Amino acid sequence: HLRWAECGAMGTNAIVGGGVPIATGLAWAKKREGQGHVAATFFGDGSAHIGAVPESMNLAALWSLPIAFFIENNGYAVATTLDEETKETRLSSRGGAFAIPAWRVDGMDLAAVVTASRMAVEHMRAGKGPTLIEAMVYRYFHHGGSILGSAFGYRGKDEEAEWKARDPLARTAREMIARGWLTQEQDDAIRANVAAAMAGIAARLRENDPESGKARIPPALWPKPEFRDHGLRGDLSEFAGARFEELESASAKTGEVKFVDAIATVMGRRMETDERIFVMGEDIHRLKGGTNGATKGLAQRFPDR
């Protein structure tokens, strides 16, 4: 899905709540780098109830990770209302369960969101751990489309109109005009420029199929077939030039070894040669290698990893 690493957008995916544990891992990595970076993961009210989300919150709090859990509470998980999802509809209360400070703000108020976000970033950069922001917002259209939700019968047009009247862009413009920071003419010009820019982008990204006449993405914009291997790791080229020996003609000492000991030995060797490798799990630090010994000696040799 969408990824723009240079801009700090590290990727999305189609799994409900799936980005939260990934962002938590990223926050863990950023903390280790020690450069003051923070991470933010955005998800909805439906995702807030996926198991990986509270699991991520627990670890983030336990390890004081610099991550903001930003819940966009629009009241619906597709067509399921928030009241049907949970008894406790204040999703910001999830933070308290893990000792994470939380803010509940009007997501249709730009100033409120900016203020809460600044407070969250200040908290995280001070090394105090994760934060949670619940923004009360609204999804104008049906899930993942351009048709109004009222067309599907799970909400009414009056509700949509009420929220539309509180649109944050229009609200911000109105309040700026009232304060003399912006004129109506300037706002109209900004909106016209944005509409023209979007129309230009859409025109470059689609064309009419000469045979069917239907809109399509221009063939030149599709990735080349060979792009399928871009970024692929583990294509066996890492073994180029490696020395292989058969047991019968091995030049070094051989002998029987327990499989679990072989795992620990190989893990140890890999951790010696690649500082990016970390081991996480239950009981590996006090049971001398976990319940089965697969990490024997690693906690002592690599205490920070």
Instruction: List, by residue number, the catalytic residues.
Output: 139, 143, 154
| CB-CB neighbours of 190 under 10 Å | 13
How far is it, in rounded angstroms, from Cα 67 to Cα 24?
A: 7
* Pairing of β 215-216 and β 207-208: antiparallel
Residues near 187 by beta carbon (within 8 Å), at least 6 away in sequence: 173, 176, 177
Task: State the chain's maximal CA–CA distance in angstroms.
Answer: 87
Residues near 31 by beta carbon (within 8 Å), at least 6 away in sequence: 63, 64, 65, 66
Which tokens go with 204? 């470059």
What is the helix (H) or strand (E) element at residue 271, kind and residue range?
helix 259-273
Alpha carbon 23 to chain centroid, angstroms? 5
DSSP symbols for 172-239: HHHHHHHTTSS-HHHHHHHHHHHHHHHHHHHHHH-EE-TTT--EE--GGGSPPGGGGGTT---SSGGG
How far is it, in rounded angstroms, from Cα 148 to Cα 104?
A: 27
Which tokens go with 16? 């409900």
How far lies 34's CA from each of 5, 119, 122, in Å?
Answer: 19, 20, 15
How far is it, in rounded angstroms, from Cα 104 to Cα 131?
A: 11
